């Protein structure tokens, strides 16, 4: 994950703290996990002055380490919100985690860490349990974008920076200048920001499946790290509305048509069924424990 000696030794030094943190999240001790993460942040910050004159790569790695801490912190927030039935909030934490995960993956240059792959697959499947298939996308008119590094127009040739790239530990991005009126609000399937969603109440029927997950967590039938993947299938069940009638009788559904021309074949209905497949990582390999297994701190 890291190339500079300093960062490698710092990351290794923090190794047991990271593992401890993941274990705390897995045991639903979110507050303690937060405390641990803050301690880690303090250790990183205390090194800051040492790094101010460092090479670009080192500063970029400091950025990576900070995003890694952010990732664990938002990951903890997902499961905390789900456990507390704050389902709308859990969606936002999920999107934050996805953002942090992607920047960590991008900067770590494909150095595959088992934990990152595990989290990515888990979050992609967790996302499918949310009732958001439609997102709002806003069209905004902007005059120009100021480069966050040099202050010039990021799309002009005077600015030498590329959006999304790191420069001495800072990401270059465009700051919208002279924001005009909202052009249009569209409803799209693949938006730029998945946080713009149709809002549902946390206790609404749309969150039925997620509430089931809340139940699994609070009754200790499932732990965050054991949520492995989803299995979708079609099942049939008896239609509760169905009434067997003489073929020429008026149909029970109120359509006014004859039974034989209407609901005669609707005795059973198909519905979507989702299985949550769990996996106990702890039991798969002896010693170490699941968290240590996922987070392989290279020696």
User: Footprint of Zn ion on this chain (CB under 5 A)?
Assistant: 147, 149-150, 159, 161, 251, 253, 255, 262-263
Closer CB to Zn ion, 112 or 241, in the complex: 241
Q: How far apart are CA 91 and CA 196, in angstroms?
A: 11
Number of alpha carbons in the 13 Å side-chain half-sphere of residue 184: 3
Distance of closest approach, residue 56 Cβ to Zn ion, in angstroms: 15
Closer CB to Zn ion, 72 or 147, in the complex: 147
Distance of closest approach, residue 154 Cβ to Zn ion, in angstroms: 6
Closer CB to Zn ion, 65 or 149, in the complex: 149
Distance of closest approach, residue 149 Cβ to Zn ion, in angstroms: 5
Closer CB to Zn ion, 72 or 251, in the complex: 251
Closer CB to Zn ion, 174 or 224, in the complex: 174
Distance of closest approach, residue 161 Cβ to Zn ion, in angstroms: 3
Distance of closest approach, residue 272 Cβ to Zn ion, in angstroms: 23
């Amino acid at each position: 994950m890291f190339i500079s000696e300093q960062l490698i030794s710092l990351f290794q030094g923090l190794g047991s703290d990271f593992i401890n943190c993941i274990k705390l999240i897995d045991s639903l001790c979110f507050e303690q996990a937060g405390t641990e993460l803050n301690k880690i942040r303090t250790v990183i910050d205390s090194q800051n002055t040492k790094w101010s004159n460092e090479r670009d790569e080192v500063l970029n790695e400091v950025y990576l380490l900070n995003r890694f801490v952010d990732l664990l912190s938002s990951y903890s927030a997902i499961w905390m919100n789900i456990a507390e039935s704050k389902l709308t909030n859990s969606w936002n934490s999920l999107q934050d985690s996805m953002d942090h995960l992607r920047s960590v993956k991008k900067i770590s240059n494909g150095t595959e860490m088992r934990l990152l792959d595990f989290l990515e697959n888990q979050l992609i499947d967790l996302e499918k349990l949310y009732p958001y298939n439609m997102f709002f996308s806003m069209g905004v008119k902007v005059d120009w974008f100021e480069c966050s590094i040099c202050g010039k127009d990021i799309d002009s040739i005077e600015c030498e920076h590329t959006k999304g790239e790191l420069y001495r530990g800072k990401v270059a991005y465009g700051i919208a200048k002279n924001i005009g009126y909202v052009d249009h609000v569209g409803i799209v399937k693949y938006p730029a920001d998945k946080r713009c969603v149709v809002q549902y109440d946390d206790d609404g029927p749309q969150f039925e499946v997620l509430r089931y997950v809340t139940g699994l967590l609070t009754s200790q039938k499932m732990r965050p790290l054991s949520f492995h993947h989803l299995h979708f299938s079609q099942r049939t069940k008896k239609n509760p509305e169905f009434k067997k009638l003489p073929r020429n009788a008026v149909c029970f559904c109120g359509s006014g048509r004859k039974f034989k021309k209407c609901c005669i074949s609707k005795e059973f209905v198909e519905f979507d069924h989702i299985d949550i497949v769990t996996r106990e990582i702890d039991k798969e390999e002896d010693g170490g424990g699941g968290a240590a297994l996922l987070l392989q701190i290279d020696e």
